[in-house]
Protein backbone atom coordinates (compact mmCIF):
# COMPACT_ATOMS: atom_id res chain seq x y z
CA UNK A 1 0.00 0.00 0.00
CA UNK A 2 1.27 3.46 -0.93
CA UNK A 3 1.98 5.80 1.97
CA UNK A 4 2.62 9.52 1.58
CA UNK A 5 4.27 11.93 3.97
CA UNK A 6 3.12 15.55 3.99
CA UNK A 7 4.46 18.86 5.22
CA UNK A 8 2.27 21.86 5.99
CA UNK A 9 3.01 24.41 3.26
CA UNK A 10 0.56 27.11 4.29
CA UNK A 11 -2.94 28.17 5.18
CA UNK A 12 -4.78 30.47 2.79
CA UNK A 13 -7.92 32.41 3.75
CA UNK A 14 -10.92 32.32 1.46
CA UNK A 15 -13.45 35.11 0.96
CA UNK A 16 -16.16 32.46 1.37
CA UNK A 17 -15.66 31.85 5.09
CA UNK A 18 -13.24 28.94 5.00
CA UNK A 19 -9.49 28.44 4.71
CA UNK A 20 -7.47 26.15 2.47
CA UNK A 21 -4.64 24.16 4.02
CA UNK A 22 -1.82 23.38 1.60
CA UNK A 23 0.06 20.15 2.22
CA UNK A 24 3.19 19.26 0.24
CA UNK A 25 3.94 15.66 -0.50
CA UNK A 26 7.48 14.54 0.38
CA UNK A 27 9.27 14.53 -2.04
CA UNK A 28 7.59 17.64 -3.42
CA UNK A 29 5.82 16.13 -6.42
CA UNK A 30 2.19 16.77 -5.43
CA UNK A 31 0.11 19.02 -3.22
CA UNK A 32 -3.05 18.27 -1.29
CA UNK A 33 -5.48 21.12 -0.63
CA UNK A 34 -7.86 20.69 2.30
CA UNK A 35 -10.75 23.05 2.95
CA UNK A 36 -11.17 23.90 6.63
CA UNK A 37 -14.09 25.75 8.16
CA UNK A 38 -13.31 28.84 10.22
CA UNK A 39 -13.66 26.95 13.51
CA UNK A 40 -11.19 24.26 12.37
CA UNK A 41 -8.77 26.74 10.80
CA UNK A 42 -8.47 29.00 13.87
CA UNK A 43 -6.41 26.67 16.12
CA UNK A 44 -4.14 25.78 13.20
CA UNK A 45 -3.62 29.43 12.23
CA UNK A 46 -2.73 30.25 15.84
CA UNK A 47 -0.21 27.40 16.06
CA UNK A 48 1.35 28.38 12.71
CA UNK A 49 1.75 31.93 14.09
CA UNK A 50 3.46 30.54 17.21
CA UNK A 51 0.52 31.26 19.50
CA UNK A 52 -0.41 28.36 21.74
CA UNK A 53 -4.14 27.89 21.48
CA UNK A 54 -6.94 26.35 23.46
CA UNK A 55 -7.79 22.93 22.10
CA UNK A 56 -11.26 21.63 21.39
CA UNK A 57 -12.80 19.29 23.92
CA UNK A 58 -12.10 16.34 21.64
CA UNK A 59 -8.41 17.21 21.30
CA UNK A 60 -8.14 17.61 25.08
CA UNK A 61 -9.88 14.25 25.59
CA UNK A 62 -7.44 12.58 23.20
CA UNK A 63 -4.52 14.15 25.03
CA UNK A 64 -5.80 12.91 28.41
CA UNK A 65 -6.36 9.40 27.03
CA UNK A 66 -2.81 9.34 25.67
CA UNK A 67 -1.44 10.34 29.07
CA UNK A 68 -3.59 7.75 30.89
CA UNK A 69 -2.40 5.00 28.52
CA UNK A 70 1.21 6.08 29.18
CA UNK A 71 1.63 6.50 25.44
CA UNK A 72 2.58 9.15 22.95
CA UNK A 73 1.12 10.54 19.76
CA UNK A 74 3.17 9.04 16.94
CA UNK A 75 1.73 10.81 13.92
CA UNK A 76 -1.35 12.07 12.09
CA UNK A 77 -2.95 9.75 9.51
CA UNK A 78 -5.10 11.04 6.63
CA UNK A 79 -7.40 9.16 4.29
CA UNK A 80 -10.31 9.89 1.99
CA UNK A 81 -13.71 9.18 3.45
CA UNK A 82 -17.24 9.25 2.07
CA UNK A 83 -17.97 12.06 -0.37
CA UNK A 84 -14.24 12.72 -0.97
CA UNK A 85 -13.93 14.27 2.50
CA UNK A 86 -10.50 13.98 4.04
CA UNK A 87 -10.59 12.38 7.45
CA UNK A 88 -7.87 12.58 10.10
CA UNK A 89 -6.79 10.27 12.87
CA UNK A 90 -4.32 10.74 15.68
CA UNK A 91 -2.20 7.60 15.94
CA UNK A 92 -1.25 6.80 19.53
CA UNK A 93 1.47 4.31 20.43
CA UNK A 94 1.62 2.61 23.81
CA UNK A 95 3.87 -0.17 25.03
CA UNK A 96 1.12 -2.64 24.09
CA UNK A 97 -0.45 -1.39 20.87
CA UNK A 98 -1.07 1.31 18.31
CA UNK A 99 -4.48 3.01 18.45
CA UNK A 100 -6.02 5.36 15.87
CA UNK A 101 -8.44 7.99 17.21
CA UNK A 102 -10.60 9.96 14.73
CA UNK A 103 -10.39 13.74 15.20
CA UNK A 104 -11.30 16.81 13.17
CA UNK A 105 -8.76 17.90 10.58
CA UNK A 106 -8.35 21.21 12.40
CA UNK A 107 -7.42 19.49 15.67
CA UNK A 108 -5.15 17.01 13.90
CA UNK A 109 -3.15 19.68 12.09
CA UNK A 110 -2.95 21.98 15.14
CA UNK A 111 -1.59 19.04 17.18
CA UNK A 112 0.86 18.25 14.37
CA UNK A 113 2.23 21.81 14.42
CA UNK A 114 2.27 22.13 18.22
CA UNK A 115 4.04 18.80 18.79
CA UNK A 116 6.04 18.56 15.54
CA UNK A 117 4.22 15.39 14.50
CA UNK A 118 4.66 13.85 11.05
CA UNK A 119 1.60 13.70 8.80
CA UNK A 120 1.00 10.61 6.65
CA UNK A 121 -1.73 9.53 4.26
CA UNK A 122 -2.66 6.56 2.14
CA UNK A 123 -3.41 5.87 -1.53
CA UNK A 124 -7.07 6.85 -1.12
CA UNK A 125 -5.80 10.44 -1.43
CA UNK A 126 -4.33 9.87 -4.93
CA UNK A 127 -7.25 11.35 -6.84
CA UNK A 128 -7.30 14.46 -4.60
CA UNK A 129 -3.63 15.38 -5.01
CA UNK A 130 -2.48 17.84 -7.66
CA UNK A 131 0.88 17.53 -9.41
CA UNK A 132 3.33 20.35 -8.82
CA UNK A 133 3.92 22.34 -12.00
CA UNK A 134 7.44 22.21 -13.35
CA UNK A 135 9.27 25.53 -13.07
CA UNK A 136 10.42 25.01 -16.63
CA UNK A 137 6.92 24.52 -18.01
CA UNK A 138 5.84 26.78 -20.85
CA UNK A 139 3.01 29.09 -19.91
CA UNK A 140 0.44 29.42 -22.67
CA UNK A 141 -1.73 32.50 -22.37
CA UNK A 142 -5.21 32.63 -23.90
CA UNK A 143 -5.28 34.47 -27.22
CA UNK A 144 -5.49 38.21 -26.82
CA UNK A 145 -4.37 38.17 -23.18
CA UNK A 146 -0.71 38.74 -24.03
CA UNK A 147 -1.64 41.80 -26.12
CA UNK A 148 -3.85 43.11 -23.33
CA UNK A 149 -1.11 42.66 -20.72
CA UNK A 150 1.53 44.36 -22.85
CA UNK A 151 -0.79 47.35 -23.37
CA UNK A 152 -0.88 48.07 -19.65
Average pLDDT over residues 115-138: 82
Higher pLDDT, 99 or 51: 99
Local structure of 49: helix, strand or coil: coil
The model's pTM? 0.79
User: What does the pLDDT read at residue 14?
Assistant: 83
* Distance linking the first and last C-alpha atoms of the chain: 52
CATH topology of domain 3-136: Bifunctional nuclease domain (3.10.690)
- Enter the DSSP assignment of 2: -
Lowest mean pLDDT among 59-63, 74-78, 106-110: 59-63
pLDDT of residue 146 exceeding 60, the answer is: no
pLDDT band at 137 (very low <50, low <70, confident <90, very high): very low
Average pLDDT over residues 77-81: 95
- List, for residues 96-106, the tens digit of each pLDDT value: 999 899 988 88
| Cα–Cα distance, 101 to 41 (Å, whole number) | 20
- Domain-by-domain residue ranges, the chain? 3-136
| Cα–Cα distance, 121 to 37 (Å, whole number) | 21
Amino acid sequence: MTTYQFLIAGLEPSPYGFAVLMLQCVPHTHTLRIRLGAVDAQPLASELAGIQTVRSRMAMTVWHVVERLDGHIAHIWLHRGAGNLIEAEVVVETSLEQVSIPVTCGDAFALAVAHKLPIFGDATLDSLMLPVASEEADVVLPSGLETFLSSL
